[in-house]
Structure 1
Amino acid sequence: MTALWTHLHSNPLTWLTLTLVVYQAAHWLWRRSGMMPLLNPVLLSIAALSTVLTVAGIDYARYFSGAQIIHFLLGPATVALAIPLYKQLNRLRQSFLALLVGLLAGSVAAILASLALGWALGASRQTIMSLAPKSATSPIAMGIAEQIGGLPSLTAVLAILTGIIGAVGGGWLMDRLRITDDRARGVAMGTASHGIGTARALQMGEVTGAFSGLAMGLNGIATALLAPILVKWLMG
């Protein structure tokens, strides 16, 4: 058994297989629960994999050596968002002005709320800078954080948490606020919770997913442009 564990422990395919199996199990559970938001498969997978790696004493570098192919596939998956965008091109054109206004309002609100929250809780300047770009997709958010004096690794964690929270509670909150327009729901999900929120938006409907995908991409650009300006203006 010791020899078998040593082999599995050092084999990258072990962690790739484990990741796929855990996600499929989490997705099955989520479906069986009637798509209960709190049982979001991404959230469950992160919790389960973190527990396994901690108990087994596996560091992240070793785990990532096997799971990195999934990380690579994030690129093609993001490009594939162009398909629902293309199908909804006429609606996107018709709603361009409203989308642009909503996107700018959401981007500015996300940055200002992050700065205010960090300041109110007495966080260090570096932590506040790490919070500021959390609503942008992780690679962009990490680059922004590095530019404005934040900690990229902390920003990555915060961005993932933001995406999960948006995916879990975004639909519920918009239902309570009686936001029923698929376009508005999509823009809200994509602006506030980037890729993870967009994955949830695609499950809500093609229109919602298309607008969320566009908002996610545009919010990354808006945050990259606005975050340094707002931080400099407010934080000095």
Structure 2
Amino acid sequence: MNFLENQFFLLAVTFTLFFFAKLLQKRTHILLLNPILITIAVLIVFLKTFNISYETYNEGGKLIEFWLKPAVVALGVPLYLQLETIKKQFIPILVSQFAGCVIGVVTVVWIAKLMGASHEVILSLAPKSVTTPIAMEVTKSLGGIPSLTAAVVVCVGLLGAILGFKVMQLMKVSSPIAQGLSIGTAAHAVGTSTAMEVGRKYGAYASLGLTLNGILTSILTPTILRLMGFL
């Protein structure tokens, strides 16, 4: 049974599960059957069933993690294709991203405080809407728990990917630019990948939302928390 703990075998299992999860969603069109959510759930069952520790799994997982940062950078390609349009709208876009960043940090910190979360947990939740590498670095600088931040970021991304477009339809938000920016700002890379599947324009503006919110969150979060009395 040692082969079950081989990092390349576990890597192959991860990719296989994700492939079939993507196929399942494409066939069923059921939003709740998000490929990332399905893959995570089945992987947890697999690891528990065969008593494989997370540390063992992560030896192979590190190979996936290595490509996370360059994958985020690759999201700049559709962004470049919309560059001329973005230049004409840059000020409104920047203002909307500033508002999204501030509201995103303030609301999660405020709600966590009202629900009795510890100081360390509150600091870990603050950068919840940016992609994992940025969120973890922000949390480290604040003195939070990076592993908790990573888990919350995944949950936020999945929630945005599953419900984001449906919520905007209910709220009568029809502009591809507004929808793309909103998804990228609120649901980072996971939401952006969903936006890419909807259309190039959606994906381009989601990439922009992801990028600007990442920059603004890393710069403004300490100041926002300081003004709120948490630092």
Per-residue CA deviations over 1:104-150 (Å, capped at 9, x if unaligned) read: 11111110111111011111111111111111111111111122221
| Gaps in structure 2 of 5+ consecutive residues | none
Is the 2:177–2:201 contact (alpha carbons within 8 Å) kept by the matching residues of 1? yes
Task: Figure out how many residues of one structure are paired with residues of the other and give that number.
Answer: 230
Give the superposition deviation at 1:69: 2.4
Give the superposition deviation at 1:235: 2.2
Amino acid at match of 1:218: L
Written as runs of structure 1 = structure 2, the 5 A alignment for 1:192-231 is 192-231=186-225
Per-residue CA deviations over 1:22-52 (Å, capped at 9, x if unaligned) read: 0011111101112x21111011111111111
**Equivalent residue for 2:16?**
21
Give the superposition deviation at 1:102: 1.1
TM-score where L is the length of structure 2: 0.96
**Which residue of 21, 28, 33 maps to 1:33?**
28
Write the distance in 2 (CA, Å) between the matches of 1:67 and 1:20: 11
Amino acid at match of 2:98: L
Per-residue CA deviations over 1:177-207 (Å, capped at 9, x if unaligned) read: 1111111111101111111011011111111
Write the distance in 2 (CA, Å) between the matches of 1:75 and 1:144: 15
Segment drifting more, 91-100 vs 155-164:
91-100
**Pairwise CA RMSD:** 1.2
**Which residue of 79, 82, 92 maps to 1:85?**
79
Give the superposition deviation at 1:21: 0.8
Written as runs of structure 1 = structure 2, the 5 A alignment for 1:1-236 is 5-6=1-2, 8-34=3-29, 36-236=30-230
Per-residue CA deviations over 1:3-34 (Å, capped at 9, x if unaligned) read: xx12x123211101100110011111101112
TM-score where L is the length of structure 1: 0.94
Give the superposition deviation at 1:79: 2.2
Write the distance in 1 (CA, Å) between the matches of 2:158 and 2:58: 20
Amino acid at match of 2:16: V
| Gaps in structure 1 of 5+ consecutive residues | none
Give the superposition deviation at 1:73: 2.2
SS in 2 for 1:38: coil
SS in 2 for 1:39: coil
Identity over aligned pairs, percent = 37
Write the distance in 1 (CA, Å) between the matches of 2:6 and 2:209: 39
SS in 2 for 1:22: helix
SS in 2 for 1:37: coil
Amino acid at match of 1:161: C
